Structure 1
Amino acid sequence: MNSSWSKLIKKNKKKVEYVDTEINSITKELSTDLDFNIKNVKQALGNSSDVNLREFRMGKPFLKKVATIYINGLADKQIMGSFIIERLMDDQNITENKETPSLTDLNLFVKEHLLAITHVVEVTEWNKLFLYLLSGQTIVLIDGSNQALACAAQGGELRSITEPVSEPSVRGPRDSFTESLITNTSLIRSRIKTPDLWLETREIGNITQTEIGIMYINGIVNNKLLQEVRERLDKIKVDEMYGSSTIEEWISDKMATPWPTMFVTERPDVVAGNLLEGRIVIFVNGTPNPLILPATWIQFFQTAEDYYLRWTIVGFLRFIRILSFMITLLGPSLFIAFLSFHQELIPTPLLINLAAQRQNVPFPVIIEALLMEFTFEVLREAGVRMPRPVGQAVSIVGALVLGDAAVSAGIVSSAMVIVVAATAIASFTIPHYAMTDATRLLRFFFMILAATYGLFGIGIGVIVLVAHTCSLRSFGIPYLAPFSPIILADLKDSLIRVPLPFMSKRPRLINKGNSNRAEGSSDLGPTKRKEKKANNNPKSDANET
């Protein structure tokens, strides 16, 4: 090699080792020579310009040579200057009764008496030093000591807490998650103030070293489920971990399915509610969308606002969402089946009108439907990918212009435009984007079945889809619960939502510990309160006498 130092990265148990070619020895631990350590850090990071190094001397009576290393943009310069460098450079007042600490005790003295930082960790290995350094912490190296001090002085530019974009709410809170793991967990801590709310952190990715957090409520969570989550995460051995979507693909129960088997949200109140039901949440640093598991099919049709509105309104809204889901999934396919195979099921005046509209259309109904659906999907994707003001204009103007032009040119019929437009509008009522994408994909499958076998093909497709959905599991929990298997107690918060006083039990399949949401649940509800009031009324006792 040209240089005397070369970096050798081995992927065995995520350890980073550095080789000295001159003496042919492997260096795993820090050296007592400060210049050696500084040179090793610079070379390992390729003399990167964002790596800032400051060398100075400690104050009296030590006068030891010290170096601080941090990554520009990841560390808070004000905290580092005021609470690390300034404290180390000041002259130390050693009392007469206290001897000057020796070199072996110098690190401990600096950690316990000098550094005014909330969290300081002693580091002796190179791989841990680079992990702390690249996580935004400031490294303090002292000449003559083979121990470095990692100081929690993270900072840099972070996105502020804003309103939810994909899950807006009228009456609910207006905060949403950000890309910072610490900020996201603090949003949950502010809502659930119990010491039983536990957080486990670990790093995944041999190169990216992405920090993830597993949050759950001890005493409510199913311990077997928690152990399963830990084992699946520990088995992930990859170089890069981009975000929660990458973890979702690695730990999912089944990949060959269009349905999402993990719940993703950007709302802290949704995460808090699921934690209180016994679920587990996985946060990923750099991703504002944590994973909630296990997930069920009906969960994707529930919104946070369902628990801020009256239960009668919520039942009506959930009925609209399920109906819109059925229209999105089967609307175009039913139109194709009726018009191609089952004209006798269409009322005669409507059939004559439809036949007149299709008189000048040169394509079969399936080609007409696929053409329109594909056009609307292109417009939808263009609206999402373009800047928001421009994207909305492209979607609206493009749909109006293309629809009117296609009808005027005789390429499609007016009825087909109405069906496709109604299907697109109905898809917007599905609350969660992952379920919307799955429904859009399955719609084309049912359209082909309808064009081939009519209603018989649609029926076969529905049976296959239901059977496939029943076979799915999300970390061992049936995906169609509480419908398959039927759990009467859990039906209170499924297609409808009963009043909150009557939902005193947590989901049975998810929670295996403390199933009661409230103590004295037998006294909850308006009926029980009326009975209790009547029993305590002295006038009723006098009348009975």
Structure 2
Amino acid sequence: MKGACAVKRDKTETQNQKQNDKQQENQTPPRPLIPSVDKSVDFIKESLGNSSDLVVRRFMINKSPCAVLYIDGMVNKETIQNFIMEALMLEMPPKRASVRRLYEMIKDASLPIGELSELDNYEDLFKRLLSGETIFLLDREEKSLAASTRGWRDRGVQETTSESVIRGPKEAFTETLRTNTSLLRRKIKDSKLRIDAKSIGKMTNTDVAVVYLEGTAQDSVVKEVHKRLDQIDIDSILESGYLEEYIQDAQYSPFPTVYYSEKPDAIAAGILEGRVAIITDGTPDVLLCPALFVNFFHSSEDYYQRADIGTLIRILRLICFNIALFMPSLYIAFTTFHPEMIPSQLLVSLAAQREGVPFPAFVEALIMELTFEILREAGVRLPKPVGSAVSIVGALVLGNSAVQAGLVSPAMVIVVAITAISSFVVPSYNMAIPIRIIRFIFMVLGATFGLFGIILGLIAMVFHLTSLKSFGVPYMSPFAPFVPKDQKDVLLRLPHWGLFSRPSSFVKENEKRTSPSSKEN
């Protein structure tokens, strides 16, 4: 068995090596810059299709032609005017300086820009130019300068719309990567916070940042994150969901193995636990990995309330998770196969309600569940003032009309309503989606095999969950495998002075968070 695994591993490594070699063969070498301002500007214009938003300003420095290029709308024009054009055109260098000497003086002494870099090929030039930087070209010089002058408009830091809280920070990430990294810097003022930059997407060149705490996050997890990101070969990355599909474990599992949030405090808390965050430019949703099953039932607000209140809310979420997952299937199984398990008075009431319903319980539940899913999606897609009204009025009118028309029983409306409300209690949206999918599977099992089918489905689901891993960490940890010292922040939440160690699932070193004796009695 070990020999077969080794052969399979060697075969996979060989295929990956061949794929990497093929990618390297297909990569053309970067084209060097033309040491002529006129020819270089013409080539840039032609490559960009003579785009109207490309601004080219030509001028002379000591009778040497030069040019400044930038993309209108992506730069701060005041920065270009005050710190580039004014510095180059008014502060003249010595007249007898050679071209090379002139270039060195401009690079080292003339441009008061904080971020300045040298370029020697057109691939890097286009990448910087289309990212909002300003390019400086000097005639008869084989290198160019790129000055950071990004200045496009963004919506600023606003209140989160998808993860509302009663107590705690209201700020949310934005679509600008540097704004998001600064929000994390404000939360974690530690010199060990690492922000590794990447560019993914052959056409979009999307900026991606990998954020973690050195010495706290496991080196193996950090390397695995970098490895999976580096293996992505795609032309465009427009949102973090692109990256999630590429780097997640168990591609065909309905359960998410990568956590995401738009709240800086939630991501900062994950980084402090030893996890790795992935920020994608252009989206406010930041990925966090590894992700465990229990993490999707935790909210940042759990740590801002008292420990007893936070514990009560967590238990309530798990109860609602089970209600949202099993209640329709249990109703179908009890009314169809196991009526003896229902109290006599309730059974008589249910039988009287279902007397005029022409469909079996499964079809009845399927109609109501599909109707509610349609209303839910319609409410999300419609404008906010209209969406909430459509959802409420639609549910009331359709539910009442369906009962009066004899299509469904009042008890079924109650079951579907309680199921829907319970699904909204789960704080993570990407965990609520698997609940909606698996609920229909349990409904089929309950209608086919009764309570035995539901139990078999539950066993299969537990087996599947225990087989999952997220970046090498068991998905059901710290339940399976059971880690006693990590139970202090899973179902229960001890007071902050009791959370003296980080979860051992994420860290192997620097586990100590606070001293157990820091709370004086």
CA distance in 2, matches of 1:70, 1:329: 55
1:31 aligns with 2:27: no
Which range moves more in the overlay, 232-241 or 306-315? 232-241
State the alpha-carbon separation in 1 of the partners of residues 72 and 183 from structure 2. 27
Equivalent residue for 1:42? 45
Alpha-carbon spacing, 1:490–1:391, altered in 2? closer, same or farther (3 Å)? same
Matched with 1:3 is none
Distance 1:68 1:11, change over 3 A: farther
Does residue 1:524 correspond to 2:518, yes or no? yes
Identify which of 275, 278, 281 aligns with 2:277: 281
1:109 maps to which residue?
105
Residue type matched to 1:441 in 2?
Answer: I
Distance in structure 1 (CA, Å) of the matches to 2:402 and 2:24: 61
Q: What is the distance in 1 between the residues matched to 2:219 and 2:295?
A: 22
Q: Take 1:179 and 1:482, find their aligned partners in 2: how far apart are those partners?
A: 34
Q: The residue matched to 2:160 in structure 1 has which SS?
A: coil
Pick the aligned partner of 2:54 from 35, 51, 54: 51
- CA displacement, residues 167-210 of structure 1 (integer Å, 9 cap, x when unaligned): 11122011110011100000000111111101110111111111
The 8 Å contact of residues 329 and 443 in structure 1, kept in 2 or not, is answered as: yes
Summarize deviations over 1:120-161 as a string: whole Å, max 9, x none: 111010100001001110111111212111000001111110
- The one-letter code matched in structure 2 to 1:35 is D
Residues 14 and 206 in structure 1, CA contact (< 8 A), matched pair in contact too: no
Residue matched to 1:232: 228
Larger radius of gyration: 1
Please, which of 506, 509, 513 is the counterpart of residue 505 of structure 2? 509
1-structure distance, mates of 2:260, 2:222? 18
Deviation above 4 Å: which 4+ runs of structure 1? 10-17
How big is the shift at 1:100? 4.7
**Structure 2 matches for 1:300-319, cutoff 5 A?**
300-319=296-315
Structure 1 residue identity aligned to 2:37: L
Superposition map of 1:337-352 within 5 A: 337-352=333-348
Aligned residues: 500
- Within 5 Å, which residues of 2 pair with 1:416-455? 416-455=412-451
Contact conserved, 1:16 with 1:127, CA < 8 A, in 2? no
What is the TM-score when the length of structure 1 is the normalising length? 0.90
Correspondence list, 1:31-180, <5 A = 31-58=34-61, 62-92=62-92, 94=94, 100-180=96-176
**1:250-265 aligned within 5 A:** 250-265=246-261
Displacement of 1:241: 1.4
**One-letter amino acid of the counterpart of residue 79, structure 1:** T
Q: 1:199 aligns with which of 177, 188, 195?
A: 195
Q: Structure 2: which amino acid aligns with 1:246?
A: Y
- Share of identical aligned residues, percent? 44
Q: CA deviation at 1:12?
A: 5.3
Shift, 1:15, TM fit: 5.7
2:328/2:443 contact within 8 Å kept = yes
8 A Cα contact 1:79 1:153, kept in partner: yes
How big is the shift at 1:16? Answer: 6.6
Contact 1:15 1:127 in 2 (8 A): no
1:132–1:11 distance in 2 versus 1, CA, 3 Å: farther
- CA offsets 1:269-315 (integer angstroms, 9 cap, x no match): 11111111111001111111111000000000000100100000011
Q: Is the alpha carbon distance of 1:268 and 1:158 closer, same or farther for their aligned partners in structure 2, counting shifts above 3 Å?
A: same
2 CA distance for matches of 1:303 and 1:410? Answer: 42
Q: Displacement, 1:101?
A: 3.3
Q: Distance in 1 between matches of 2:65 and 2:27?
A: 29
Match of 1:23 in 2: none
State the alpha-carbon separation in 2 of the partners of residues 282 and 317 from structure 1.
Answer: 29
Partner of residue 349, structure 2: 353
The 8 Å contact of residues 101 and 109 in structure 1, kept in 2 or not, is answered as no
| TM-score for both structures, normalised by structure 2 | 0.94
- 1:62-93 CA distance string (max 9 Å, x none): 23222111111111111111111111110426
Note if 1:266 corresponds to 2:262: yes
Q: 1:323 to 1:492 in 2, by over 3 A?
A: same
Please give the secondary structure, in 2, of the residue aligned with 1:216.
Answer: strand
Q: Does 1:370 align with 2:366?
A: yes
The one-letter code sitting in structure 2 at the alignment partner of 1:408 is Q
TM-superposed CA distance for 1:413, in Å, is 0.4
Is the Cα contact below 8 Å between 2:358 and 2:407 reproduced in 1? yes
In 1: Cα distance, 2:146 partner to 2:26 partner: 19
SS in structure 1 at match of 2:84? helix
**Offset from partner CA, 1:254-283 (integer Å, 9 cap, x none):** 111110100100011111111111110011
SS of corresponding position for 1:492: coil
- Where 2:187 maps in the other structure, the secondary structure is coil
Q: CA deviation at 1:57?
A: 2.0
Amino acid of the residue matched to residue 55 of structure 1? R
**Aligned AA for 2:167?**
R
Q: In the TM superposition, what is the alpha-carbon distance from 1:485 to its structure 2 partner?
A: 0.5
1:472 aligned partner: 468
Instruction: Tell me how far 1:247 sits from its aligned partner.
Output: 0.8
Instruction: Specify the SS of the correspondent of 2:487.
Output: helix
